[in-house]
Amino acid sequence: MSCHRYLAIRADSICKYTLLACGIVLGWVMSNTVFPLGAIFSTALVILVVALLWRHALPLSRPATMLFVIAIAIYYIVVIWITPRVMDAYSAASDTSGTIRRGEFYAQALLRDPAATLDLFVSKATLNAAEPTSSFYWVMGFIYLLAGGSHVAISAICAWFGAVGGSYFVEAFARLFKKRNWYPLLVLFFPSIVFWLTWPLKDAIVFWLLGMLAVGLATFLEDGSWKNVWKILLAEMACIAIRPYYGIFFLAPLVLIGSWRAVTALRAHSPDQLRSSIFLAAVNALLLFFLVSNQFFTRAMSVESASQYQQTAGQGGGANIQPQVVISGRETTLGSYVVYGIERLWYVFTVLFRPLPWEAHNSFALMASLENSFLLLLALLVVWNSHSILRRVSREPLLIFAALFVALFVGAFSFQVVNLGTMMRVKVNALPFLFPFVALALEIAEERLSTQYRCVDRFQLFRNKSD
């Protein structure tokens, strides 16, 4: 390992873990002081730590770490000033209170008898009939211990995981772009990503694991090394343990990508890469088989149980806007299939772009609807430049993986009973795989505008000379 790379890795670690400690400290400060005095002091602490890192550690680090530091500073500001206020307002109607309560429950169990509790974790037994065992709640138990029970510190730790995951996504996809890179701005600073990754929920941890999977896959496609195979498998199995149905979104694409990589290695006469690619494809195919056979996917998302949505909008908006499933028989006529196809397109639109501004009945839903409108404009830009983007996708296996992930995600949730308030949150984990195409569309649009303006300038110059 070169000296420069060693120093970069050390600087990256210093930045990341210093900011993790900063998040825990600001949580302690917020929990033991009155608002807004504690918030002001915590904000000053974040600014001071970031300034010190910027002066001493960041000059040696990689660009992704610099973006991480900027992102985590913003996330912490949101944790300090916004997240606790919103959680207090929505705690009765959200999963956060239950998540923290179960985290406390498992933390106390670990403190009472660590060995016995870990044995229960391995055996998948329950600690209490009222507390269902979940891998995520075990993770939350450890986070609860690390945070010292501070709810603000728990949110800060989750935000830290989310920002690290964002830096992983940047490392994975940033290499695909030629000029100005829009992708880091989208994946790290998109409003819903910033907002939801600061909540003590599964999304931040899943975001981190998916980012680890993406960067592992990106480097595997470059070198075919076994190290990255194990990184991919570790990330995806941890993700399946937390959200089992997510497995279908990346296992099937990884089987295809691994098989393609094996064919490429065979043609290149690279036996080691051939073995690693076959192993990756085979393990993912096996995991996919067990996932489907255990009905993680088919039981929850069957076509038969999701024949038609009816939209109802409660005055609360957001989480109260609920598409409801109506089971109904269908005639097997051409017209019925056309209607069904139109419905499916509407449900796909629902997953990605709803609620819309006229469906919002409170400030929370209104902000989400404005972001969805912006996302819809970006999607239209992708469609407008689809020909150029498809040519690029056909040459990049990582983009093929991202496209398949988004397609499976949207298709699965379009058949699911979805609460739109929950959908706004869950969608966050699909956005990093959608944004590469948005970044490509913005890059293409920027190139066209640049060319157009150059032509205008030259014409203007020519006209002035003729005059």
Q: Report residue 281 CA to chain centroid gap.
A: 23
Identify whether 38 is part of a domain. Answer: no
Identify whether 393 is part of a domain. Answer: yes
227 pLDDT exceeds 60?
Answer: yes
- Banded model confidence at residue 122, pLDDT cuts 50, 70, 90: low
172 versus 307: the higher-pLDDT residue is 172
- Which pLDDT belongs to residue 301? 43
Bridge partners (DSSP) of residue 128 are 131
- Which pLDDT belongs to residue 229? 95
459 pLDDT exceeds 70?
Answer: no
3-state SS string over the chain? Answer: CCHHHHHHHHHHHHHHHHHHHHHHHHHHHHHCCCCCHHHHHHHHHHHHHHHHHHHHCHHHCCHHHHHHHHHHHHHHHHHHHCHHHHHHHHHHHCCHHHHHHHHHHHHHHHHHCHHHHHHHHHHCCCCECCECCCHHHHHHHHHHHHCCCCHHHHHHHHHHHHHHHHHHHHHHHHHHCCCCCCHHHHHHHCHHHHHHCCCCCHHHHHHHHHHHHHHHHHHHHHHCCHHHHHHHHHHHHHHHHHCHHHHHHHHHHHHHHHHHHHHHHHHCCCHHHHHHHHHHHHHHHHHHHHHHHCCCCCCCCCCCCCCCEEEEECCCCHHHEEEEECCCCCCCCHHHHHHHHHHHHHHHHHHHHCCCHHHCCCHHHHHHHHHHHHHHHHHHHHHHCHHHHHHHHCCCHHHHHHHHHHHHHHHHHHCCCCCHHHHHHHHHHCHHHHHHHHHHHHHHHHHHHHHHHHHHHHHHHHHHHHC
State the Cα–Cα distance between residues 373 and 352, nearest whole angstrom. Answer: 10
- Banded model confidence at residue 129, pLDDT cuts 50, 70, 90: very low
- Which pLDDT belongs to residue 179? 64
Q: Which two tokens stand for residue 339?
A: 């209607």
User: What is the average pLDDT across 205-210?
Assistant: 96
176 pLDDT exceeds 80?
Answer: yes
188 pLDDT exceeds 50?
Answer: yes
- Which pLDDT belongs to residue 101? 85
Identify whether 360 is part of a domain. Answer: yes
Identify whether 458 is part of a domain. Answer: no
Say which residue the tokens 């949730």 belong to: 413
Q: Which of 167-171, 269-273, 351-355 ranks highest by mean pLDDT?
A: 167-171
Query: Which residues neighbour 17 within 8 Å (Cβ) at sequence distance 6 or greater?
Result: none
32: left (phi over 0), alpha (psi -120 to 50) or beta: alpha
- Banded model confidence at residue 56, pLDDT cuts 50, 70, 90: confident
Distances (CA, A) of 415 to 288, 306, 356: 20, 5, 20
User: What is the average pLDDT across 166-177?
Assistant: 90
Residue 339 burial (CB count, 10 A): 13
Q: Which two tokens stand for residue 11?
A: 């600087």
Helix axes 83-90, 151-173, angle to 10 degrees: 110
State the Cα–Cα distance between residues 193 and 187, nearest whole angstrom. Answer: 7
313 versus 142: the higher-pLDDT residue is 142
What pLDDT, in 10s, does the model give residues 392-446? 888 899 999 999 999 999 988 887 755 677 778 889 999 999 999 999 999 888 8
- Which pLDDT belongs to residue 255? 96
Identify whether 15 is part of a domain. Answer: no
191 pLDDT exceeds 90?
Answer: yes
User: What is the average pLDDT across 120-142?
Assistant: 66
Q: Which two tokens stand for residue 136?
A: 């995520």
Structural domain of 425: 309-451
Bridge partners (DSSP) of residue 309 are 325
Bridge partners (DSSP) of residue 321 are 313
Q: Which two tokens stand for residue 219?
A: 């480097």
119 pLDDT exceeds 90?
Answer: no
What pLDDT, in 10s, does the model give residues 256-277? 999 999 999 998 888 899 999 9
Q: Which of 28-37, 44-53, 176-185, 290-299 ranks highest by mean pLDDT?
A: 44-53
Nearest to 183 by CA among 431, 380, 374: 431
What pLDDT, in 10s, does the model give residues 2-27? 777 778 888 899 999 999 999 999 99
Q: How far apart are the first and last CA of the chain?
A: 63
> In this predicted structure, which of 171-185, 187-201, 297-311, 437-451 has the lowest mean pLDDT?
297-311
Identify whether 456 is part of a domain. Answer: no
> In this predicted structure, which of 296-310, 365-379, 407-421 has the lowest mean pLDDT?
296-310
* Tally of domains within the chain: 1
Identify whether 268 is part of a domain. Answer: no
- Which pLDDT belongs to residue 374? 95
- Banded model confidence at residue 318, pLDDT cuts 50, 70, 90: very low
Identify whether 376 is part of a domain. Answer: yes
- Which pLDDT belongs to residue 169? 95
State the Cα–Cα distance between residues 207 and 121, nearest whole angstrom. Answer: 23
- Which pLDDT belongs to residue 360? 81
